[in-house]
Amino acid sequence: MLDILLVASARPNFMKVAPVLQEIKNNHQDIEAQLLHTGQHYDYEMSKIFFDELGIPAPDHHLGVGSGTHAEQTAKVMTEFEKVLQKEQPDWVVVVGDVNPTMACTIVANKMGIKVAHVEAGLRSYDRNMPEEINRVLTDSIADLLLTPSIDGNMNLVKEGIAEEKIRFVGNIMIDTLFNMRKRSDDSTILGDLGISEKEYVLVTLHRPSNVDQEETLKNFAHILKQTAEDLPMVWPVHPRSKNNAEKFGLWDELQSIENLHLLEPVGYLDNVNLMNNARLVLTDSGGIQEETTALGVPCLTARENTERPITITEGTNTLVGTDPEVILDHIKKHLQEGVGGNKELPKPLYWDGNTAQRIVKAILEASN
């Protein structure tokens, strides 16, 4: 019996572990899988609803670390995770993505001699000012099995001196979940609840510290939203970080007063997929949404100077637009003037086929022999 401990933290992590857990449950009776939730997102809307919708069982372990500075969060995860590993002694720890607990759990497992598999290995923005980039590089440098979503990930790892026998190109696990849930998302009533129509609104998601932690930058985005809402309704499920900063900077009342701007509490996965799939355009700073809009064929503007997912630009619907408000407004105007848009029939990147979980489990089994 092979014992595997899967680690989930932020919401995108749940979407990445769900198909792996399902694959193990359905097809691998020789594997014992446990789920550990670090508790980075600890309120109901940001966490439990995703477990419910994705069919993820209640975590076997919950660290409950909450939020905090990068150092505080990393230290709490390492301290608590060590206790779990001492008790469970799994054969493998599987970490996903690039959040602080991904790096923290990898370091602890590595020092305890427990093998680590990293799902979404090899992604690089080459911007060391991004905390996620530090997490990605450090995790990949000491993990035992590097499971990449795209060929450029393999190339990045080889350039960094990672042994090729540790690297496996398995495809994009986010697309497994998207394909599994796509049809169910059609039953969402969120558009009707908001009184908006398909292809007649812009979806917004903003949460990165570089975009929402500085007053001037957040004011610029408020200006962008106000200008765009004059032409088309906008929908923004507001991340707690963004809302807290908007309140701190005295911008929340102004945002609430913008006509045609729908400010929502964080939404569940099915509502989110429905909102993405039916949007005329998406404005985001999220990594996962760049991928999901590519898979759905929906135009996406990414408010960042770089991306660790360049395949969404070269083979998808994504455009990097930076953070200059006038540049972003120009791009929005261009897309809105082009007509209905959205849901372009594009060839999908290799292995974005809904079968990545199978390849992940196969790679772990092969690396265990």
Annotated catalytic residues are 207
The H or E element that residue 50 is part of is helix 48-54
- Two structure tokens written together for 344: 């372009």
- Two structure tokens written together for 107: 């370091």
Positions of E strands within 38-106: 61-62, 92-96
Positions of E strands within the chain: 2-8, 31-37, 61-62, 92-96, 115-119, 145-148, 167-169, 202-205, 234-237, 261-264, 281-284, 300-302, 318-320
205 touches 237 (CB < 8 A): yes
Q: Rounded to whole angstroms, what are the CA distances from 310 to 14, 150, 217?
A: 23, 10, 24
| DSSP label at residue 352 | -
Dihedral over Cα of 108, 110, 113, 119: its sign: positive
